[in-house]
Structure 1
Amino acid sequence: MDKRILVPTDFSKNALNAVRYALDLYARLNCEFYFLNVFRANSYTTDSLLIPEPGSAAYEKAKNKSEEGFIKLMGMLEVHLDNPKHSYHTISTFNDLSEAMRQTIAQKDIDLVVMGTRGATADREIIFGGNTVNAMEKIRECPVMAIPPDFSFSPPKEIVFPTNYKTTFKRKELSYLVEIARLHEATIRVLYVTKKPDLNEAQQANKKLLADIFETVEHSFHTLSDKKVSDGLTAFVESRNSDMIAFINHKHFFFGSVFSRPLVKEIGYEAIVPILALH
């Protein structure tokens, strides 16, 4: 069965980088890629009740600009698009980005979303563009992967999986992580950052379950003590030159503790590796 991957784009350099990463990451699998661009009419604002209708001059001008953007994008990707295992589709739509993504995920049965961490209006003080943060937190139907600016693809060999072992794991929610690890023969490093390294009975059971789920891939368990989760994760990834971070986003708990905007300056974490948010 083909894997269906959605890649939203605003035709920025960072979005192009995310497209290339997705194409390379899944180069060996049969995939359908859906490239999505949400366009706006210059005369339209969110405060206006006058939404351009299809066929109106403002609507058609914005749509044509989006379609021209796709022609340029496909031209820039020409070297990447000769993979016989891949097929490609472009979608131009007048919509809110989150709503457009949700509709596409539902209509096309999307398996994975891949986005750049910054768009055309990059703010260097924010780790992820607001759209990417919103997608990683709000989209629950499939995993979301965020690719940092200027990150050049190389097959991931080490994926860091932070956890507190407090949740019972399910094979289904970790299937994408296991698939990527198997596809690229990567090792999964399970990281527990805590001031109390001893595990209670429930945590020990969850750790054993995790070991069973990861039995088909190389994996190891690591503990860092006396550090905040954000600091420990950052130090671990940077010291080992890890290639990816994957985590299960249980509603708001773990994601907010590491990647929420108020902590950006405190943790000083520039996203230097792709991040996979599982649900």
Structure 2
Amino acid sequence: MDKRFIVLIDFSDYSDNMVRYAYNWSRQAEAKLLLLHQVAVVAPAMADSTTRASIAMHARTRAFQKLKALIHSNVPDNEEVQLSVVETDLKYTLAKLVAEPYDQLIFLSLKGTGLLKQLFMGSVAIDVIENANALVAAIPKNIPYFSPRKLFIAVSDKHPLNISALEKLMQFIPGHVDMIIFFHLAKGNEDTASVAEELEKLSWRFSAICPTQHAIYHDKNAFEDMRAMVLNKNEELLVLQKGSRLFVDQLFRKFLVNELVYQGEIPLLVLP
């Protein structure tokens, strides 16, 4: 099945980097590239239908111009990139796109400043991750290109990994990864016997693809031990399972998303 990368564009300062990163990855994965922007049409409350339609058309035209400018600045001239500007709800639009016959990856930017940083992840990012039935890549601002060498994959004790989605992810990064590290962050006096067994099974299963390791990080030293392993932001990807404690629990999300992704500038991939 053909691959397609859907890149959500908001025309922020992060957009140029997002396009460069997604284009670079798409070339290596042999994936089609689609830039998607949801336009906000603001019309006076008393405007008639003709006026509203005119305002909407102007907004769409302006958005297409800005998308073309992004392509011109960040993608070689001979490359084909699809552009889409919609007024419909983003959840509805993505649901329709994800239903199309592609293996797909959705890209969005993470803005790690001010209030959004305190909330650990912006509302749009959370909404997309929670509702899209697809792999989602959340990219911090200063990652210049796609060049992963290590995958750090978080394993929950009660919410198993979506193995088919993880295998699909591996198809997006063929020949790149030198090491997969499955890890679990233990909380308090948690019994880790079952998760240790699961880590071993996962390590064995994916060892046919590349070398694997697994680890359990315990209690108050867990975050420091994990941070020490993540050394090179340009060569590492952090993978979480949607719905797992590591994604839902605020303490764990604060560390994994705020400190590793925002501050450490490591791309985050979320499995559906």
TM-score, normalized by length of structure 1? Answer: 0.79
CA distance in structure 2 between the aligned counterparts of 1:51 and 1:106, rounded to whole angstroms: 35
Once the two structures are TM-superposed, the CA of residue 21 in structure 1 deviates from its matched residue by 1.1
Q: Could you tell me which of 164, 168, 177 is aligned with 2:156?
A: 164
CA contact (8 A) 2:238 2:268 kept: yes
CA distance 1:122–1:154, change in 2 (3 Å):
farther
Q: Are residues 1:193 and 2:185 paired?
A: yes
- The Cα of 1:110 is off from its aligned counterpart by 5.4
Could you tell me how far 1:173 is from its partner in structure 2? Answer: 2.6
1:48-63 maps to which residues of 2 (within 5 A)? Answer: 56-63=53-60
Cα deviation 1:59-100 (Å, max 9, x = unaligned): 111111111112211211233x645xxx42111111222222
Unaligned runs of 5+ in 2: none
Counterpart position of 1:143 = 135
Contact 1:33–1:89 under 8 Å retained in 2: yes
What is the CA–CA distance in structure 2 between the aligned matches of 1:36 and 1:19, rounded to whole Å? 11
The answer on whether the counterparts of 1:193 and 1:232 sit within 8 Å (CA) in structure 2 is no
Show the counterpart of 1:43. Answer: 43
CA offset at residue 146 of structure 1? 0.2
Quote the residue 2:29 is aligned against: 29
Cα 1:95–1:110 change in 2 (3 A) is farther
TM-score (norm 2): 0.81
Q: 1:155 aligned to 2:152?
A: no
CA RMSD of aligned residues (A): 3.5
CA shift digits 1:208-256 (9 cap, x unpaired): 3312331221211122222386x3576245456562100111x363311
Asked if structure 2 preserves the Cα contact closer than 8 Å seen for 1:191 and 1:224, the reply is yes
The one-character-per-residue Cα deviations of 1:98-130 (angstroms, maximum 9, x if unpaired) are 2222222224645110111139x9955444332
Residue segments in structure 1 that go unaligned for 5+ positions in a row: none
Match of 2:5 in 1: 5
Deviations 1:114-164 (A, max 9, x none): 111139x9955444332112112222x211000001222251112211223
Q: How has the CA–CA distance of structure 1 residues 3 and 154 changed in structure 2, closer, same or farther, with 3 Å as cutoff?
A: closer
- Alignment check: 8 A CA contact 2:150 2:178 kept: yes
Higher share in helix: 2
Partner of 1:113: 106
How many residues are matched? Answer: 266
